Amino acid sequence: MDATARAVARAQKSQRRRETEITREILRYLAAVGCLAWRNNTGAVRGQHKGKARVVHFGHVGSSDILGVMPGGRFLAIEVKRRGQAVTREQAAFLALVHQLGGQALVATKVDDVRAWVPPQPAADPTRWVSHPHNEAV
């Protein structure tokens, strides 16, 4: 396989990457540069309690896939999308609100998108922020 064929194969593979893989890679990068960041889940679950059907909603509608705090205290919201996917109206509104309130809000299709907005910074204490096992189980 020549270099061009390998490059095409890599590009096709990157387009097929699952959102969870991209999210996991971004979380690792954020931990490495001193950000406190976590996977943010939203949705609902049906269940029963004392014989009654219940629906429990969790998270804020439209909130980003990754939330966190950058070194220096700035709030961070990252909506992770596969290449070619668009954000929903609710997700766009959440990102706009975060930006309006002074936070860093962005849409990322790969970790390089995040590197452009959250550059590596030396942490005052590199042992202060450690990756949480829950982040690795995304």
Query: In the structure, what pLDDT confidence band is assigned to residue 118 with cuts at 50, 70 and 90?
Result: confident
Query: In the structure, what pLDDT confidence band is assigned to residue 119 with cuts at 50, 70 and 90?
Result: confident
Helix (H) or strand (E) holding 105: strand 104-108
| Domain-wise residue ranges, the chain | 3-136
Spatial CA neighbour of 72 closest among 23, 118, 132? 118
Per-residue pLDDT tens digits for 53-95: 999 888 889 999 999 999 999 999 999 999 999 999 999 999 9
Tokens read off for 138? 């995304």
How does the average pLDDT of the chain come out, rounded?
Answer: 85
Query: In the structure, what pLDDT confidence band is assigned to residue 138 with cuts at 50, 70 and 90?
Result: very low
Per-residue pLDDT tens digits for 23-63: 999 999 999 999 999 999 988 999 998 999 999 888 889 99
Rounded distance between C-alpha atoms, residue 14 and residue 25, angstroms: 13
CATH of 3-136, picked from 3.30.565.10, 3.10.20.30, 3.40.50.720, 3.40.1350.10, is 3.40.1350.10
